Amino acid sequence: MDIKTLRYFVEVVRQQSFTRAAQNLYVTQPTISKMLRNLEDELSCTLLIRDGRKLLLTDTGKVVYERGIAILAEFRQLEAELSDIHHLDKGTLRLGIPPMVGMLMAGPIGLYRQRYPGVELKISEFGSLTVQQAVMNGELDLAMTALPVEEEHHFATLPLFSHPLCVLAPRSGEWVKRDFVEPKALSGHPLLIYNEDFSLSRQLMQLFATLGMNPHIAVRSGQWDFLAAMVQAGVGIAILPEPICRKLDSKILTWLPLRSPLRWELGMIWRDGVYLSHSAQAWLKCCKEYWPAAAGQ
């Protein structure tokens, strides 16, 4: 039994006529007659009995008719919901964002909400390595993460922006006399860096290992504002992306470029070769519009 056959049967009963049903459904009367005979053969029962000009339902026919009305109503609802999703009048977008980039996402999120107010945004805030795993597992549709990502993960990527790293320190002592900081100059200072599930933390540790350094990690945290507060409290110095440093109070803190090849490179990732929902495609479009440099990717 398929939806079309069920629709034909219900319409015949409603119209009490094969001819009128055929006219309403824009098919020929023989087509409807054949479909209903096939339905009766499939169910191994009689559904309709002719009584003069009337069409009477058998007991089985009544059950099929009543259930058919409910099924067709559900199917129309399904079609409507799928249409809404296709046109982004409703739906859900599961997006992963590392905590440190939350402040940079207000613009594209605002643009997306303005255009697609019916789509529910479910945002998960974890470090880059955690959101990458969530995308691989299908728990998230897309995620913003540090680039590059491991090739074996088979992600599709959309690079968005790239910024230098800075050393965040109190505006006092030796730091106000510097124009930049070499990585090796950090070896004598307690460092405040991100947790291990942040790609940036892993990249920094790899840089230190390459230089033969054994850094003194005083505090790890996933919150940039907490790390900045620790610097202000004199606990140590932090390594943060430049855009985050520029959000801080320059009268109390100073930030100096970290002279290294490392940069804070961010982009959107999703599973390569896997169906990407309309809501996710619309999100990528908003990202390209908000960050025009990404449009050529």
- Give the model confidence (pLDDT) of 223-240 as tens digits: 889 999 999 999 999 999
Flag whether pLDDT at 80 surpasses 80. Answer: no
- State how far the Cα of 95 lies from the Cα of 117, in Å rounded to an integer: 16
Termini Cα distance of the chain: 48
Dig out the tokens for 9 from the structure.
Answer: 């049967």
Q: What is the pLDDT of residue 235?
A: 96
Closest CA to 189 of 209, 212, 214, 211: 214
Flag whether pLDDT at 294 surpasses 70. Answer: no
3-class SS at 149? Answer: coil
Q: Which residues does residue 217 pair with via DSSP β-bridges, in sequence order?
A: 191
Q: What is the pLDDT of residue 128?
A: 80
**237-241/190-194 β-pairing:** parallel
3-class SS at 52? Answer: coil
**237-241/155-170 β-pairing:** antiparallel
pLDDT tens digits along 91-134:
889 999 987 777 788 899 999 999 999 999 999 988 888 888 88
| Non-local CB neighbours of 115 within 8 Å, separated by 6+ positions | 88, 282, 286
| Residue 295's pLDDT band (cuts 50, 70, 90) | low
**Which residue has better confidence, 70 or 128?**
70
**Which residue has better confidence, 28 or 127?**
28
Flag whether pLDDT at 171 surpasses 80. Answer: yes
Q: What is the pLDDT of residue 99?
A: 78
Q: What is the pLDDT of residue 62?
A: 92
Residue 99 contacts residue 222 (beta carbons within 8 Å): yes
pLDDT tens digits along 187-200:
889 999 988 888 88
| Non-local CB neighbours of 102 within 8 Å, separated by 6+ positions | 125
Q: What is the pLDDT of residue 251?
A: 92
Selection from 21-25, 35-39, 130-134, 256-260 with the highest mean pLDDT = 256-260
Alpha helices, DSSP H only, in the chain? 3-15, 18-25, 29-43, 59-86, 106-115, 128-136, 199-210, 224-232, 242-245, 278-290
Flag whether pLDDT at 219 surpasses 60. Answer: yes
Q: What is the mean pLDDT of residues 66-84?
A: 81
Closest CA to 261 of 128, 129, 148, 105: 148
Q: What is the pTM of this model?
A: 0.67
